Copies of this chain bind each other. A is one copy, B any other.
């Protein structure tokens, strides 16, 4: 169940929001005192924060920034001032959306749902979709159509590196540094060997000549 944290001093509005979001299937928690706001907010592990920017004796902008230092939780700012500077500021200090009082609560609901959906999807994006194939980082596999092949740690790293810079030439030195942290001194030829191994697996998937050698310059993933 998704949890929404409400940080709002106006008791009437707070209650209204609590009831509304509870009725719409969310778990709701809210802050009623504001003398230790940042700590309180960070202690409550929520999926979205509804934050009134004009709390008594609290710098809302500062709070927003502090939250952002520790967390990517979506933040919706509630403001009562309708001028544009407010909007600009809220964008700049890390909030994901703002609404001005009074607001339409159905729109707020749609926006919270949309932000949470996005934030959930962002959780761990561990697949690189390269169009003609997909690299799965946590399984260490490459998938094309319905064929799947396991990659070893080295093969995965090379392929990931090249895929991220698809279309660019990547030097052998760069790849070697990425592979071996330039700690242990590994023979230059070892890269060639690993390259061959990767290429063989790619060819098993029908990805022939995906990695092209640019003699004297490096490799390029086409």
Contact = CB atoms under 8 A, between A and B. Distances in A.
Contact of A107 (B45, B84, B106, B139): B84
A92 B113 CA distance: 10
A128 B124 contact: yes
A110 B88 contact: yes
Contact of A160 (B124, B125, B128): B124
Kindly state the interface size class of chain A when it binds its partner.
Answer: 20 to 34
Interface in A126-165: 126, 128, 137-140, 153, 156-157, 160, 164
Given A88-B107, A104-B84, A157 B128 contact: no
A138 B139 contact: no
Interface in A88-130: 88, 91-92, 104, 106-107, 110-111, 114, 122-126, 128
Nearest to A91: B110
A139 to B, nearest CB: 7
A66 interface: no
Contacts of A88: 106-107, 110
A160 B123 CA distance: 12
Question: In the assembly, how many copies of this chain are there?
Answer: 2
Contacts of A160: 124, 126, 138
B153 A140 contact: yes
Contacts of A122: 122, 125
A111 B92 CA distance: 9
A87 interface: yes
Of residues A104, A107, A138, A167, which shows the largest number of chain B Cβ atoms within 10 Å of its Cβ?
A138
Contact of A123 (B106, B164, B167): B164
A60 to B, nearest CB: 18
Contacts of A45: 167
Contacts of A84: 104, 106-107
Which 7 A-B residue pairings sit nearest by Cβ, starting from the closest? A125-B125, A137-B137, A91-B110, A91-B114, A137-B138, A138-B160, A88-B110
